[in-house]
């Protein structure tokens, strides 16, 4: 029996690197998956797709209504959608428009989607699971204040919801990735970055997806609530002081 047989999953950001990797892994483990994004995922993935623009104020509500109509009920929710990180959006230059887009998609839509999915799970008496994709930069500056602030906010949203939903058997958690090239990740110099990673290689979307499967499955993750799992090859351990064996 596959790990997620019978589960019904909604995955935002399903056309991007990490969201797409998670959607594919969920399908491989037997879940029925509905992916959402502003662009369609590649047809060869076979991900059932619903368009949803989370930069619109009502975007999260339209997505949820559409997802419930298509899936019937939702037992797994993953929020991986996020706008492109633009290196020009430094603390002294980021515009209000960029701030609103970043926080609107990551934090505002992330919170309302997760909360409403949580309510829906309570209604359906489903021991559901919710997973927010945050970042190493929820704690460390990234020269992208709207990005790091939204990820810090998502972390608190995850904890707030985890406490109130756990008594209904609903587990809420987060994964904080780093160094997963492709999609929205832009490394100025990949070689230099890899040299900083204790494991000695960049990550892949599947590195994140396999941890997501473990957290979302009741076989491995059943007692995991309100926590953030860092999946970054050890990059988060590095500081400006170089490692010394
Ligand atoms: N790649 C990494 O190393 C890394 C590191 C830390 C955190 N993350 C987080 O992981 C998640 C996925 O990142 P990724 O690298 O796969 O990025 P990505 O850009 O490949 O994927 C993000 C997806 O969100 C979608 N999106 C953008 N605007 C949208 C909107 N208005 N409405 C709906 N969808 C929209 C994009 O179309 C894209 O497919 C993000 O939350 C990101 O912050 C990634």
Quick one: which atom of ligand 1 is closest to the CA of 56? 31
Percent of the chain with pLDDT over 90: 90
Q: Is residue 243 part of a domain?
A: no
Q: Is residue 133 part of a domain?
A: yes
53 Cβ below 6 A of ligand 1? yes
Q: Is residue 33 part of a domain?
A: yes
CATH assignment at residue 169: 3.40.50.720
Provide the pLDDT for residue 7.
Answer: 98
Structure tokens at 17: 């690197």
- Residues 179 and 197: their CA atoms lie apart, in Å, by 8
Positive or negative torsion for Cα 71, 73, 75, 81: positive
- Is the pLDDT at 159 greater than 90? The verdict is yes
Q: Is residue 189 part of a domain?
A: yes
Provide the pLDDT for residue 232.
Answer: 96
105 Cβ below 6 A of ligand 1? yes
More confident of the two residues 86 and 19: 19
- Residues 117 and 105: their CA atoms lie apart, in Å, by 16
Q: Which of 18, 53, 155, 182 to mutate to test the pocket of ligand 1 (most atoms within 8 A of CB)?
A: 18
- Is the pLDDT at 245 greater than 70? The verdict is no
Provide the pLDDT for residue 185.
Answer: 78
Q: Is residue 144 part of a domain?
A: yes
CB-based contacts of 18, cutoff 8 Å, min separation 6: 80, 133, 177, 180, 183, 205, 208, 209
Provide the pLDDT for residue 184.
Answer: 72
- Is the pLDDT at 241 greater than 90? The verdict is no
Quick one: which atom of ligand 1 is closest to the CA of 59? 32
Structure tokens at 226: 């309100």
Q: Which of 52, 55, 61, 80 to mutate to test the pocket of ligand 1 (most atoms within 8 A of CB)?
A: 80
3-state secondary structure of 37: strand
29 Cβ below 6 A of ligand 1? no
Task: Summarize pLDDT for 167-210 with one digit per residue, the tens.
Answer: 999 999 999 999 999 777 776 788 999 999 999 999 999 999 99
First CA to last CA distance, the chain = 43
Q: Is residue 82 part of a domain?
A: yes
Q: Which of 224, 138, 125, 220 is nearest to 176 (CA)?
A: 138
Task: Summarize pLDDT for 127-145 with one digit per residue, the tens.
Answer: 999 999 999 999 999 899 9
Q: Is residue 17 part of a domain?
A: yes
Q: Which domain holds residue 113?
A: 8-237
CB-based contacts of 203, cutoff 8 Å, min separation 6: 177, 178, 179, 180, 181, 231, 232, 233
Backbone angles phi, psi at 51, to 5 degrees: -75, 140
Question: Can you give the pTM of this predicted structure?
Answer: 0.97
Provide the pLDDT for residue 209.
Answer: 98
Q: Is residue 3 part of a domain?
A: no
Provide the pLDDT for residue 11.
Answer: 98
Number of structural domains in the chain:
1
């Amino acid at each position: 029996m596959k790990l997620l047989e019978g589960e019904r999953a909604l995955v935002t950001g399903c056309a991007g690197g990490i969201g797409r990797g998670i959607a594919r892994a969920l399908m491989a483990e037997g879940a029925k998956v509905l992916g959402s994004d502003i662009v369609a995922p590649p047809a060869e993935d076979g991900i059932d797709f619903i368009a949803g623009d989370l930069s619109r104020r009502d975007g999260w509500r339209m997505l949820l209504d559409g997802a419930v109509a298509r899936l019937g009920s939702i037992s797994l929710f993953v929020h991986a959608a996020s706008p492109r990180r633009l290196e020009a959006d430094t603390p002294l230059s980021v515009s209000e428009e960029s701030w609103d887009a970043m926080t609107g998609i990551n934090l505002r839509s992330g919170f309302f989607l997760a909360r409403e999915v949580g309510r829906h799970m309570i209604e359906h008496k489903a021991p559901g699971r919710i997973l927010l994709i945050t970042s190493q930069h929820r704690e460390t500056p990234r020269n992208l204040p709207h990005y790091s602030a939204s990820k810090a906010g998502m972390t608190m949203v995850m904890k707030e919801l985890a406490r109130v939903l756990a008594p209904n058997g609903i587990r809420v958690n987060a994964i904080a990735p780093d160094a997963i090239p492709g999609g929205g990740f832009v490394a100025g110099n990949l070689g230099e970055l890899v040299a900083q990673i204790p494991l000695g290689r960049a990550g892949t979307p599947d590195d994140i997806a396999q941890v997501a499967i473990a957290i979302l499955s009741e076989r491995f993750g059943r007692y995991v609530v309100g926590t953030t799992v860092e999946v970054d090859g050890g990059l988060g351990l590095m500081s400006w002081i170089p490692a010394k064996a």
